[in-house]
Structure 1
């Protein structure tokens, strides 16, 4: 029977109205469009991966929107790099430095390479300058050595002409001080009593000594005779200016040293006996001691011969080197005549060297 219009519908009867869907229908996914991952609703920022891959551009076909993912889409596994729960290994960033920019005095930028090249050029210039200074120093030392040798040759040549350019009082001082020149280091004072005229060597030496000196020749002979403070002894000192060069003088010096010619009594120089003085009787028989010195830096032979002022004769003359030895007992040694000859010859030689130095010095 039909239902009453005011009666409630029977709950057991089936309803003709379709039930309301609980979910919105998902439109079908176009062919070729990949499924989208579920949208994130959190506001937290996701970490940026070290080298993220670019996301593919999504195609839009038939005007369909892909802003929301369909419920029936196949779920895609999340990328661990985008997950907060994944322990990602930190990666050290790669840092590269650009070339530093430099500035010059005008505050204009300048490349660092230019400065490096500038420093290289400066270092090279310093090396060249240093080598130049070293070469200059070596060259200067060579020049100094050459000038030194030239100076020695000049002094040697200049000393050969002193016999006519140096005053007598400078060559043979009127008084000669001999501090420590006597026996036992006693002082001596010699006074000049006569100067012989400059002459040749014909009668100044014994024949054997003249023969020994012949290789160097005889240019001029200067002589003077001195006496001591007590006028007990007389000594003749002589300067023989030769014609030889430095090599010949060295050869003669070597011969006198090797053959001991300066110690032979038959090679004694002769004295200068001046009349009217205490040396008037000073002859060949009165020679007691002597010394002969061949110079190698000047063409000069320096010698001296001593004896008693009372004209006594000497039977055994003794060279100065032996008469000055400690313990010598003969008469010339006991009287100190070896010291007289050697001491006076040394002082006259020093005076000669001073004259050579003065003559070769250049005015400043």
Structure 2
């Protein structure tokens, strides 16, 4: 590092060369070095503090999310009415009305065997489910929030596996429905599942999903994952009915609401 000849200012604020260059230059170098080290050290300390704060905030949010299943009213997790602006085929709006909420439970008999096996590494803390119908009561959709026992690394590993192996596209890993008696979803069983979507969250110990079907109880021979059923060139009955949009649209909005709830719970006053 080299320094130029130092300058000062006279009483008229004009720059002037300072005399006594040797000693003053040495002093200037020392001061600059001290200031430089101080700035570097301050910057490093600042970055450490910011990093710690961000990490702590992330950890707080993850921990808070794990407790949401028993600390948040059901109407907040599964609102009585969900608006889906632009969620239907061609960007049409959707409105879903909740018709039933399942009692919160464990995961015994809640999933088909292969899906239960795929989810086993993250464990099951609690499972919350609700079933909705569209404005015309033509379709029914069960949406679920599986609260796991995993940490952030475990959720990331599961998300990676679902992505690499495309587990969310496999019909033998389709979530089960919640068929509530005395509702339009009473006949919404395993054979009535038409389309589905599964989302593994990595910033919360939660797996969100939705599965849709017709409200008239018709069986489905070849269900389609929501992504496939929502493709612009899809021509199957499931796609034409918009059942992929029903599953994906409702799952997305329940997930968004959940994230908003977590964010509000962990916000700190400025």
CA distance in 1, matches of 2:21, 2:28: 10
2:15 is matched with none
For structure 2, list consecutive stretches of 5 or more residues without a partner in the other structure.
1-17
1:147-201: per-residue Cα shift (whole Å, max 9, x none)?
A: 2122212211221111111111111111111111110111111111111110011
1:75-127: per-residue Cα shift (whole Å, max 9, x none)?
A: xxxxxxxxxxxxxxxxxxxxxxxxxxxxxxxxxxxxx9889857864664354
2:129 is matched with 223
Shift of the alpha carbon at 1:323? 0.4
Secondary structure (helix, strand or coil) at the match of 2:104 reads strand
Shift of the alpha carbon at 1:138? 2.0
Q: Does residue 251 of the first structure (1) align with residue 157 of the second (2)?
A: yes
1:348 to 1:115, Cα distance in 2 relative to 1, 3 A:
same
Shift of the alpha carbon at 1:261? 1.2
Aligned Cα RMSD in Å?
Answer: 1.9
CA distance in 2, matches of 1:291, 1:118: 72
Q: Select which of 104, 108, 114 maps to 1:208.
A: 114
Secondary structure (helix, strand or coil) at the match of 2:177 reads coil
Alignment of 1:318-357 (within 5 A): 318-357=224-263
CA distance in 1, matches of 2:211, 2:177: 6
1:9-35: per-residue Cα shift (whole Å, max 9, x none)?
A: xxxxxxxxxxxxxxxxxxxxxxxxxxx
2:75 is matched with 169
1:115 to 1:243, Cα distance in 2 relative to 1, 3 A:
same
Q: Structure 2-normalised TM-score? A: 0.88
CA distance in 2, matches of 1:214, 1:120: 68
1:307 to 1:113, Cα distance in 2 relative to 1, 3 A:
closer
1:288 is matched with 194
CA distance in 2, matches of 1:126, 1:296: 46
Q: Select which of 174, 188, 212 maps to 1:268.
A: 174
Q: Select which of 193, 197, 218 maps to 1:312.
A: 218
1:314-340: per-residue Cα shift (whole Å, max 9, x none)?
A: 111111111011111111111000000
CA distance in 1, matches of 2:112, 2:256: 26
1:298 is matched with 204
2:103 is matched with 197
CA distance in 1, matches of 2:27, 2:53: 38
- Looking at secondary structure, tell me which structure has more helix per residue: 2
- Which deviates more, 333-342 or 186-195? 186-195
1:264 to 1:119, Cα distance in 2 relative to 1, 3 A:
closer
Q: Structure 1-normalised TM-score? A: 0.66
Alignment of 1:58-69 (within 5 A): none
Q: Does residue 359 of the first structure (1) align with residue 265 of the second (2)?
A: yes
CA distance in 1, matches of 2:180, 2:187: 8
Count of residue correspondences = 253
1:37 is matched with none
Shift of the alpha carbon at 1:277? 1.4
CA distance in 2, matches of 1:361, 1:219: 25
For structure 1, list consecutive stretches of 5 or more residues without a partner in the other structure.
1-111
Shift of the alpha carbon at 1:141? 1.1
CA distance in 2, matches of 1:325, 1:113: 78
Shift of the alpha carbon at 1:273? 1.0
Secondary structure (helix, strand or coil) at the match of 1:243 reads coil
Q: Does residue 277 of the first structure (1) align with residue 183 of the second (2)?
A: yes
CA distance in 2, matches of 1:127, 1:258: 51
CA distance in 2, matches of 1:138, 1:177: 46
